[in-house]
Structure 1
Amino acid sequence: MARLIALCGALVLAAGLAVAGAAWWAWRALDAPGPAPAPVVVEVPAGAPLARIAARLEDAGVVEHAALLEWYGRLTGLAGQVRAGEYRFPAGSTPRQVMSRLVSGEVVLHALTIVEGWTFRQLREAIETHPAIGDKLPAAPDEALMSRLGMPDMAPEGWFLPETYRFPRGTTELELLAMAHRAMVAALDEAWAGRAEGIPLETAYEALILASIIEKETGVADERREIAGVFARRLERGMRLQTDPTVIYGLGEAFDGNLRRADLRTDTPYNTYTRSGLPPTPIALPGRAALEAAVDPAPGKALYFVATGNPDGTHYFSETLAEHNRAVARYLATLRERRQAQ
């Protein structure tokens, strides 16, 4: 009997030592670097149990033992705090670090850059082809989208600020448009609040329209306010703006890349050669610099401008029509010389 008791005691002791050894191993293993030699991105589905998440991480090479991660999560209560999303795990992440990241919500952020001068159509095309944007609405009419953004009966052109937007995978098209729209509303309000006195614009929307024209006319930062000044003076004198980008926008899909004299004579609501004042809507998505130029035009006397033809994209500004015509002749000569040199 004594021998049996001794044997049972030995077994209990051995079991205790085994449990203690396993616990000691597990605790140390929580701080052991994982097998991944490089960063690994893993998507954690919404509502997935920790066992499935741990298995996915083991399959991806982030952790060596899925059971260890699951045990740690359940023991600490962190299992119920795991947040869905796409996570990037650095090379050699320990199980403890992996769990910490899973509950942090620090998901991978993707980016979409809205380019200054894009049209709304180009923006929607970029969204349609972006792999991280979900719930796309390619068939949704523009009017329906604007209504959902709180601006029913408003044309969408111009109302989305060109910037780089960062967002988690699965962000919807509507959510992304809402971000860009809120940013434009804020930028336009700020620009309009700081407008110069006496500018020939009655509303912030008119400033948005003019800014879109400025955006399409030049990419040279130093010229934006000068071009804004030309347009402001023409508006003040009742002169037509006569700006090619508005004509091109009015032609829509009919524009083949070559603007002809006949196009300048073809009347559309956007043809500023045939119609006075601003076009009915913006013609592109203007950036902050164009917005600021539209409400703070540079002083001066120039009423005309034309491209110089130089690679830097600069323009020549003229006070008189005769001077402008000479500048146009120089521009055409520069183009001919360039074609002959090719």
Structure 2
Amino acid sequence: MTRRKLPKWLLYTLGAIILVGLGIAVYVYKIFLGPSVTDSQPYFYVYTNDTYENVLRRIRTDNIVSDVKAFDYAAKAMKYPNSVKAGRYKLEKGMSNRRFIGNLRGGYQEPVKLQFANIRLKEDFAGFLGRNFEADSLQFISILNNEAIAEKYGFTTENFYTMFIPNTYQFYWNTSADKVIDRFYEEYKKFWNEERLAKAKQLNLSPIEVSILASIVRGEALHNDEMPMIAGLYLNRLKKGILLQADPTVIFAHQDFTIRRVLNRHLNIDNPYNTYRYKGLPPGPINMPPIVAIDAVLNPAQHNYIYMCAKDDFSGYHAFAETVAEHQINARKFQKALDERNIKK
């Protein structure tokens, strides 16, 4: 039995259909599944209230994908224009439109890992937050300086800064400024657990006062292992009703952090942060104290020292004393060392 050959016209037609089908498959693959995202930047940001047109314009301007028309077609096919969600989206070179658009449409953004320490002023902290969130630094500083908001959390605008515990946190980039502050308050309450609260009570200090003192300890200490000694000294002074006379508070009062040598003329400033003139703790912290400083105050070294002076070897450690006579000897050694190095201010 002989097989009948297909007519040539039919073979040509079938071949054309196959070629068209392959072309369509290749085109669809390129649009949806093929490599699309470039390496122009590591993240793509979609802002609150952005429209699809805004998103598409930045994708084109920032060269986010290799073929903007293909992205646009895929986005519309996947109904993304009606599902724009704010966020910080991680980009990977070669990521397909389907995956990229799926993340955008689903709001699958990568959290911001927020890690901070040693931020001196709340203005600096507001700037730091503004660089890591959609909200800018002005929004954050307006909250930190808002008396009603501070009172809502149990603080004043002077001591509000003690609410922020240096640590590592995760947030979504588009978290609003007020929600960010709410989250820090929740972390603050977790930090001040029953054990820490009990230790603060034994010292007859509130958590706020502990943090203020810890900021002074942080200002004095160059080495973490000396913090409990310094904390014990200032606690001794508080118990005896002696002026704290902490040089870092004088520098803070002047707002001149270039001062390396506190002189008599610096001590005359009439400012509540000047602990050479005002008894007790200042009204707020002079920096953002780290956890190690807070815990040093809660677990101070037990001793009778009420005086200290930086050692003349410039090791960053201090010479401690119980009497004025001992302290004057230590102070003269340090003053001589400063003079020898021509450190005048």
Range of TM-score over shorter length: 0.7 to 0.9
SS in 2 for 1:216: helix
Greater shift after overlay, 283-292 or 60-69? 60-69
Correspondent of 2:325 among 304, 322, 326: 322
* Pairwise CA distance, 1:223: 0.9
Q: 1:232 to 1:165 in 2, by over 3 A?
A: same
* Pairwise CA distance, 1:227: 0.7
Aligned CA RMSD, in angstroms, stands at 4.1
Counterparts of residues 3-152 of structure 1 (less than 5 Å) = 17=18, 20-29=21-30, 30-34=32-36, 36=38, 39=41, 41-45=43-47, 46-49=49-52, 53=55, 57=59, 60-73=62-75, 75=77, 81-107=83-109, 114-116=116-118, 118-124=120-126, 126=128, 133-134=135-136, 136-137=138-139, 140=142, 143-144=145-146, 147=149, 150-151=152-153
Provide the rounded CA distance (Å) in 2 between the counterparts of 1:92 and 1:196: 55
Provide the rounded CA distance (Å) in 2 between the counterparts of 1:264 and 1:325: 18
Q: Is the 8 A contact 2:127 2:137 kept in 1?
A: no
Greater shift after overlay, 279-288 or 264-273? 264-273
**1:192 aligned partner, one-letter code:** R
Q: 1:72 to 1:255 in 2, by over 3 A?
A: closer
Provide the rounded CA distance (Å) in 2 between the counterparts of 1:121 and 1:297: 30
**1:159 aligned partner, one-letter code:** M
2:273: which partner in 1?
Answer: 270
Provide the rounded CA distance (Å) in 1 between the counterparts of 2:137 and 2:145: 18
Q: Is the 8 A contact 2:140 2:177 kept in 1?
A: no
**TM-score using structure 2 length:** 0.75
Greater shift after overlay, 37-46 or 287-296? 37-46
Provide the rounded CA distance (Å) in 1 between the counterparts of 2:307 and 2:267: 17
Greater shift after overlay, 71-80 or 306-315? 71-80
Provide the rounded CA distance (Å) in 2 between the counterparts of 1:81 and 1:233: 62
Q: Give the gaps of 5 or more residues in structure 1.
A: 1-5
Greater shift after overlay, 163-172 or 114-123? 163-172
Q: 1:120 to 1:65 in 2, by over 3 A?
A: closer
* Pairwise CA distance, 1:297: 0.7
The reply on whether 1:286 has 2:307 as its aligned counterpart is: no
| Aligned residues between the structures | 332
Q: Is the 8 A contact 1:40 1:60 kept in 2?
A: no
* Pairwise CA distance, 1:205: 2.3
**2:163 aligned partner, one-letter code:** W
Q: Is the 8 A contact 2:199 2:298 kept in 1?
A: yes
**TM-score using structure 1 length:** 0.75
**2:328 aligned partner, one-letter code:** N
Provide the rounded CA distance (Å) in 1 between the counterparts of 2:112 and 2:249: 34
**1:25 aligned partner, one-letter code:** V
SS in 2 for 1:207: helix
Provide the rounded CA distance (Å) in 2 between the counterparts of 1:52 and 1:174: 26
Percent pairwise identity: 24
Q: Is the 8 A contact 1:213 1:245 kept in 2?
A: yes
1:241: which partner in 2?
Answer: 244
2:197: which partner in 1?
Answer: 193
1:162: which partner in 2?
Answer: 166
* Pairwise CA distance, 1:225: 0.9
2:300: which partner in 1?
Answer: 297
Deviations 1:4-33 (A, max 9, x none): xx9x99999688656633442234323322
Provide the rounded CA distance (Å) in 2 between the counterparts of 1:40 and 1:241: 49
Deviations 1:228-281 (A, max 9, x none): 1111222223333221223333x3458983633244355543333334332333
Q: 1:54 to 1:172 in 2, by over 3 A?
A: closer
The reply on whether 1:334 has 2:340 as its aligned counterpart is: no
Deviations 1:96-144 (A, max 9, x none): 3323332453436667664426132433455567795437248848552
SS in 2 for 1:87: strand
